[in-house]
Amino acid sequence: MEFRQIIYFLEISESGTFQKAASRLGLTQPALSRQIFLLEKELGVTVLERGGRSVRLTHEGERFYQYSVRMKELWEEIQNGFSKENELKGNFSISAGGTVSAWILPQILKDILKTKPGLSLSVREGDASETKDAVLKGEVDLGILTGPVAEPSLNVLEFLSDRIFPVAAKDHPIFLKKKIRMEDLKKQSFVFFHPGSALRKAVEKKIKSFSKEFGSNIAMELRSVESVIKSLEAGLGIGFLSEYSISPKLEKIKFEDWNAERKFYLCYRKKSGPGLTMLAEEILRSAEKWKSQKEKSSLS
């Protein structure tokens, strides 16, 4: 049995006549009939009942049709599995936190989509727990989480490193001090992300390493990066931001021994298919390129 015979059989089944199928396949009708004859001979059964101008599937033909559809789908899956990088296509969804969604992904995805016309990507913002749940439940294809990530059902790839800095508006009174101490910070109002934020958790962990009795005066708890930035720019307190999202109106607070870092990871379900693996690899390549460009621009 040859795979082309299966394709011929499916075409006849769907078009209803040998004549239409032969025309679509670019074959002569006798040549097509010959291939179906050889197929039936090898199977030992009749799969098509000829009658007048049309054909219909026999009982055995109905069974063989189901097998043929599955074999065609498997062949297409094999082809996709061995496709080249420039053949990355399809619709994929991504979930990530506010910093990544607003300040990192847009440029990376823009770079990818320029060279992948058959690719469509959608992004939805969610905190760490929302993103993780969405990936595990199959609501999104790929998630970007703050590590470490310990989920045996997920493929986990390191994405980017991120540094978190205490910041305030450039005219904030804190900058009048020559040397900023822990006691100075304790007296300030703070603009924090909401408790479910991965950045908030990283900041609280770092603060506790300095002082267990810090008890920061939290004036605001906000969900979006944009809201935090605008509040800080308005001088409503001190906050903590990713190095990627510090705006020109804000200034880093030089506080000795502050070195809060975190890592982002690409996560997707195992056995998700080759397309998603290709997308993850493409995102990692573009992220490395984007990071290199940012480093060069910061030095110039």
- 264-274 tens-digit pLDDT: 999 999 877 77
pLDDT above 70: residue 82: no
pLDDT above 50: residue 25: yes
Q: Which positions ≥6 away from 100 have C-beta within 8 Å?
A: 144, 264
pLDDT above 90: residue 228: yes
- 2-18 tens-digit pLDDT: 888 999 999 898 888 88
pLDDT above 80: residue 237: yes
Tokens of 52: 């007048």
Neighbours of 113 (CB within 10 A): 13
Tokens of 157: 């790839």
Report whether CATH 1.10.10.10 matches the domain 3-81.
yes
Query: 198: pLDDT confidence band, cut at 50, 70 and 90?
Result: confident
Mean per-residue pLDDT for 168-196? 89
Q: Which pLDDT value is given to residue 80? A: 67
Tally: H helices and E strands in the chain: 11, 11
Looking at the DSSP assignment, which residues form a beta bridge with residue 166? 240
H/E element, 6: helix 3-15
Query: 85: pLDDT confidence band, cut at 50, 70 and 90?
Result: very low
CA distance 27 to 5: 12
Length, in residues, of the chain: 300
- Name which of 82-96, 147-161, 170-184 the model is least confident about: 82-96
pLDDT above 80: residue 250: yes
Tokens of 222: 């906000």
Contact by Cβ (8 Å): 43, 67: no
Task: Calculate the dihedral angle through the C-alpha atoms of 224, 230, 233, 238, rounding to the nearest 10 degrees.
Answer: -30
Per the model's pLDDT, the better-predicted residue between 17 and 298 turns out to be: 17
CATH of 87-160+263-299, one of 3.30.1280.10, 3.30.1300.30, 1.10.3720.10, 3.40.190.10: 3.40.190.10
Is 221 buried (19+), middle (13-18) or exposed (0-12) by CB count in 10 A?
Answer: middle
Q: Which pLDDT value is given to residue 71? A: 92
Query: 220: pLDDT confidence band, cut at 50, 70 and 90?
Result: very high
Contact by Cβ (8 Å): 8, 71: no
Fold classification of 162-262 (topology level): D-Maltodextrin-Binding Protein; domain 2 (3.40.190)
pLDDT above 90: residue 148: no
Nearest C-alpha neighbor of 34 from the set 65, 72, 5: 5
Cα angle 230, 192, 144; round to 5: 90
pLDDT above 90: residue 20: no
Tokens of 250: 């804000």
* DSSP secondary structure code for residue 16 in this structure: S
Nearest C-alpha neighbor of 61 from the set 5, 11, 4, 13: 13
Nearest C-alpha neighbor of 222 from the set 199, 188, 191: 191
pLDDT above 80: residue 225: yes
Domain ranges in the chain?
Answer: 3-81, 87-160+263-299, 162-262
Cα of 73 vs its chain's centroid, Å: 25
Contact by Cβ (8 Å): 126, 224: no
Share of the chain above pLDDT 90, in %: 48
- Name which of 52-56, 209-213, 224-228, 268-272 the model is least confident about: 209-213
3-81 and 87-160+263-299: identical CATH topology: no
pLDDT above 60: residue 300: no
